[in-house]
A and B are shown apart, each in its own frame.
Chain A
Amino acid sequence: MKPDFPNPGRLLSLLLLATAPAGWAADDIGGASEHVFFEELPVVLSASRLVQPLADAPGAVTLIDRELIKASGVREVVDLLRLVPGFQVGMSYHSRPAAAYHGLADEFSRQMQVLVDGRSMYSPFFLGSITWNNLRLSLDDIERIEVLRGSNSAAYGANAFMGVINIVTRHASQSQGAHLSTTHGSQGISDQELRYGGSLGGMHFRISAGRRSDNGFEDFHDSRQTRYLAFRGDLRIGPRDELQLQLGANRTSSAAGFLGSETDPARTPRENGHHFQAVWKRALGADGELSINAYHMRDARQEEYVARDSSTPPFLLTAPIDAGFRTRRTHLELQHIFRLNPAARVVWGMEHRRESVASRWMFDTDRTQTTRLNRLFGNLEWRLAPKWLLNAGAMLERHSLTGTDVAPRLMLNFQPAAGQTLRLGTTTAYRNPSLAEERAHVVYRIAITPPPPPPFPSTLTQTDYRALGGLEPERVRASELSYLGEFRSLGLAVDARAFHENVTRIIDKTGSPANFLNRWSALVRGLEYQLRWAPSPGTLILFNQARMRIDSEDERLADSAPRRSTTLFLSHRLPMGLQASLAHHWVGGFRWQGWSNPLPMQRRLDLRLGYAFRSGPARGELALVWQNLREPYSEFRTDYVFKRRGFVTLSLDF
């Protein structure tokens, strides 16, 4: 139940009333008259909708488009990152996906920012994490994913620490009609999707609903089931203005605890959340834009259980635990893009954000913990000479926990010939400590039955975490030299990035009860490259490799990324509507931070076979996917063994 969920129907009709387009729609008197020549058209490919040419981007970018998403056969966004050089992906315990760029990461994926249409998926709860299971979107609603490899606080603020994953969903006019899809397979894999797109008044809309579930790893209590609902409406308010509305909600139940454990008993907590977002954009000339992005999101988890300990008979120790929480985020952002002169373009803007977390377990109080964030950012894209492009930007950020920081960036792109780009740049980025790292106070109140004889007390308290606060943000100073070669006539693009990332003030817990301190530093150096070759329209070949080395006084950090990882992806369209694709990953041994142990080298081979067909007005596809066709390997921990999985997907569009 979500009593404060806005009523979409009422809201929609109000908006339509307020903005019914008057006088600019086509009114033709049959046949092509002069009207089609003189009617005013909306600015569709506005400044923020255009993808910056990779050659002009201030850093390395991997673009994942719809074709690749489909051909990869993945069921969730995080698995797509296996196709991006420098990333590590693994499913950790309790079906919590972990992802990292250049190591240093645990199961919470907190060294990167993930945005869905500008909404941050970085949860303020606990240590901070990306809520991969609660993105509230269907893969088929995604237009493209821009993976910005490398630190990016200058444009995306703290937490865009090692990289940014920018998920852009399709404009509602692009997903019209009905779509159905169902997936079934091993390990209890069962996914269903339903979407309808239409138009109402001047608004295109789509509603997607879905359910995703699986049983996770064999022999572990880590099944999950997510149900989501997502609405997107795109409304034109005349030739220059457009309004985008999004609503979403999810209900997730994912396993927690361990079968047979008394202290961490198997249980199935529930999570639910929703968001509301409105984005208004006004096109200013051919290359300028003013936009306002406002969103509000809430997430909550219900998890109550009793931890027991019967290891000291006849006494039984019990502790009731309420591990539930509520988080809220309200975000308001203004962005202005304009051309300063023919050679220079400016993007600048402001953001205000308020976040709160209420968790009795984490803070030993019912009081809501609140943080506020204000940001001012700007980037100048300045063509110094026909072959030289400078991107100079910075973000000034004031956070109520950590004070004021400035994250600058300077990137020089040299384009000696068409399709050839060399980039040299440096930037500083931050990761703000989470509320828990700053204020955690985890106390368990334990009852002993039968009550022991005096002088022993019949209740105990045990404090696991006592954060003393005063942390500084983690900081990375990163430099890169990179090359982008685009050979259009061959359909080939090569992107190579040499990086030097000096990470300091890494936060880690220590002592008993545990406190968080800025303890470590790490130097990440290496080279990664990706090759993308489309020799013919139906064929795509990707080859990625990353080699890196981490030097740190902390051994676990030093081992937190594979020395070498390689991916080969092939996709080919065959006759008769068939399409085959293959992904082969080789990942060297490494160790995640957190509750994990050293992993040996991983080899994984995925295969997908799709058959597209047409039946009356419906277009459909039947796809078979095998994940890890070869020997089992371990993800995240050695006992989390990924065996061969297979599933079949039937999708219909009409």
Chain B
Amino acid sequence: MPRLPAFLRSLLSYALAIAALAGAAPCAAQDIAIVIGEPAAPGSPYAEVAEEIRSRLAPEAKVSVHGTADETPPAPDGARLLVAVGARAAARLAAAPGKAPLLVTLMPTEAFARLAAESRRTGSTRPMSAVHLDQPVGRQLALVRLALPDTRRIGVLLGPASASRQAALAEIAAQRGFHLEARQVAREDDLAPALLNLLPETDLLLALPDPLVFNAGTIQMILLSTYRHQRPLFGFSASYTRAGAVLSLFSTPRQIGAEAADMLRVALTGGRLPPPRYPREFQIAANPHVARSLGLTLDSEQDLLQRLRETE
């Protein structure tokens, strides 16, 4: 099949997404402007977040959707509230002049904390808040307790992007009756030795988003190693469960969009964005085949979801 050059394809997907999402809405004074960070083909996580926000707020507010192609201005003019979908849009909007409050979505906690710090450092006065993309560790541990009650020792591999979390993680784990076993990895070459050193000391490996540690290139080695050591992997997206993680806990783009819409509604009526928070709604993906092969029995996803909600 002949393929279009990459930039043409991305332009085309911007155009498609914006056309599909914003319809023919004029770009005049808006209540809310959503800026998408990446080429957002319909059905992509970016498009889903934007679509969910738009559909939930459309009756009460004017919502427009924009791309971040280089030729467009960094921030749409005149909107009362800005929403960034993804890290790239967040970085652009945080750096843009203006005072309209910014709600960041599809960004992990750590990355948002760095962005907010950077923004303050440069003297920006734009109020910022976020719907985190990752899950609170307390919630992850609560699910471990429910689904795999024999687990005592939680293993984590921390890369440069997550290394600073070690102390906080250990504290939360201890509060919940777990022991945290952590290994720091500075380079990809250190990953396999660190993992082999870690696995015998743990009952479960908790995957934390860090692109050096967990990516499509390393997941094979990680899953095969955990499997050989008969340790379950706990993932942070449905993709992990498909790959071979026993359990994954995550919020879908729609659930994140819904959370963002709730926060925006507060801002529209009260004038201020609520502080950053995690989505209240979440999803569980379980892989009963891998679990059974590891000699573990899992309750159904529905049942676990129900019980996990009750703990919150």
Contacts and interface: CB of A to CB of B under 8 A. Distances in A.
Interface of A: 24-26, 28-29, 31-45, 47, 49-53, 56, 65-66, 143-144, 171, 173-174, 176-177, 204, 234, 236, 239, 286-287, 418, 486, 488-489, 537, 619
Contacts of A49: 227
B279 interface: no
Contact of B214 (A36, A143, A171): A36
Interface string B257-292: 000000000000000000000000000000101101
A44 B219 contact: yes
B292 A53 contact: yes
Contacts of B111: 31-33
Interface string B197-224: 0001000000001110011110111011
B242 A26 contact: no
Interface residues of B, number: 50
Nearest to A654: B193
A32 B240 contact: no
Contacts, number: 136
B106 interface: yes
Among B111, B134, B228, residue most surrounded by chain A Cβ atoms (within 10 Å): B228
Contacts of B161: 31-32
Given A32-B162, A34-B133, A173-B224, A25 B216 contact: yes
Contact of B211 (A26, A40, A286, A537): A26
Which of B214, B224, B250, B297 is most buried by chain A, counting CB atoms within 10 A of its CB?
A: B224
B295 A36 contact: no
Contacts of A40: 216, 239
Given A32-B211, A287-B289, A537-B200, A174 B221 contact: yes
A236 B216 CA distance: 10
Nearest to B242: A43
Given A26-B216, A40-B216, A44-B219, A35 B224 contact: no
Contacts of B88: 29, 33
Contacts of A204: 220-221
A41 B295 contact: no
B76 interface: no
Interface of B: 37, 45, 86-88, 106-108, 110-111, 114, 133-134, 150, 161-162, 192-193, 200, 209-211, 214-217, 219-221, 223-225, 227-228, 236-237, 239-244, 250, 287, 289-290, 292-293, 295, 297
Given A33-B111, A34-B45, A39 B224 contact: no
Contacts of B292: 53, 56
A66 B228 contact: yes
Given A32-B162, A418-B297, A44 B108 contact: no
10 contacts: A32-B111, A33-B88, A34-B107, A38-B237, A43-B243, A45-B227, A45-B243, A204-B220, A286-B241, A286-B289
Contacts of A287: 289
B107 A33 contact: yes
Nearest to B91: A29
Contacts of A52: 293
Name which of A35, A45, A65 has the most chain B CB atoms within 10 A of its CB: A45
Nearest to A52: B293
Contacts of B237: 37-38
Contacts of A418: 297
A41 B211 CA distance: 13
Given A32-B111, A32-B162, A45 B211 contact: no
A413 to B, nearest CB: 13
Given A171-B224, A173-B220, A41 B243 contact: yes
